């Protein structure tokens, strides 16, 4: 098996999933890296109650990222990343040229951070011209949605992203709008207030 990098710039950093975690070479994880493409909260995720999630976007910014290093073939790494991102327990990735709809595209980079191959999951943006206000509305609505599992709402996602040092052009305004709309002083307070009803 060779060492393959998996670029993480969202929840993947702290939640790589059971399969990827099992083959991660933890001592090799690359921290302090930045995405080679621009990223923004520009996808409304059905699995998160339509909360905004990070995806490549031309009006975003290059953000803090980590490269998870795994001992696997490129094919196996792609299959595991596809299963993690699509929340499936079986199946394999089908090669494609770009992300569209709910079809995941896995981008491939060569010779990054001393690794011959680094792969990155890419979903298509679904929020046209995202604004801080629109993102806050979606995040708050997902936190109110009782069908969304605990920790999977947009406010929790934003808190996780912040904890990993990720900052996009819309991040500050997005957070401020959540606090303004919920009349709170922190994202944690906003989430608690919403969950208490």
Averaged in consecutive runs of 10 residues, what is the pLDDT profile of the chain (197 residues)?
A: 93 95 96 96 96 97 98 97 95 94 94 96 95 98 96 97 96 98 98 91
Question: Quick one: pLDDT at residue 64?
Answer: 97
CB burial class (10 A; 0-12, 13-18, 19+) of residue 146? exposed
d(CA 17, CA 22): 9
Q: How many CB atoms lie within 10 A of CB 62?
A: 14
Domain count, the chain: 1
Question: Quick one: pLDDT at residue 101?
Answer: 87
b vs e for 74-96, b when ≥16 Cβ sit within 10 Å of the residue's Cβ?
eebbbbbbbbbbeeeeeeebeee
Question: Quick one: pLDDT at residue 193?
Answer: 96
What is the pTM (predicted TM-score) of this model? 0.94
Question: Quick one: pLDDT at residue 128?
Answer: 86
Question: Quick one: pLDDT at residue 196?
Answer: 87
Domain that holds residue 157: 3-196
DSSP conformation class of 186 = S
């Amino acid at each position: 098996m060779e060492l393959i990098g998996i670029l993480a710039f969202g929840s993947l950093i702290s939640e790589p999933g059971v399969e990827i975690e099992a083959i991660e070479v933890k001592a090799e994880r690359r921290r302090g890296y930045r995405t080679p493409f621009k990223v923004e909260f520009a996808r409304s995720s059905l699995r998160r109650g339509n909360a905004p999630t990070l995806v490549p976007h031309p009006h975003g910014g290059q953000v803090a990222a980590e490269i998870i290093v795994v001992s696997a073939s490129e094919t196996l790494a792609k299959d595991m990343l596809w299963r993690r991102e699509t929340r499936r327990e079986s199946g394999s990735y089908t090669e494609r040229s770009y992300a569209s709809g709910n079809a995941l595209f896995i981008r491939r980079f060569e010779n990054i951070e001393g690794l011959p191959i680094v792969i990155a999951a890419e979903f298509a943006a679904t929020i046209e011209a995202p604004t801080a206000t629109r993102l806050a509305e979606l995040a708050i609505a997902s936190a109110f949605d009782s069908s969304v599992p605990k920790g999977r709402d947009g406010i929790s996602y934003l808190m996780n992203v912040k904890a990993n040092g990720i900052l996009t052009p819309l991040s500050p305004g997005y957070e401020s709008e959540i606090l303004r709309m919920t009349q709170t002083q922190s994202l944690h307070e906003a989430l608690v207030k919403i969950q208490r009803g």
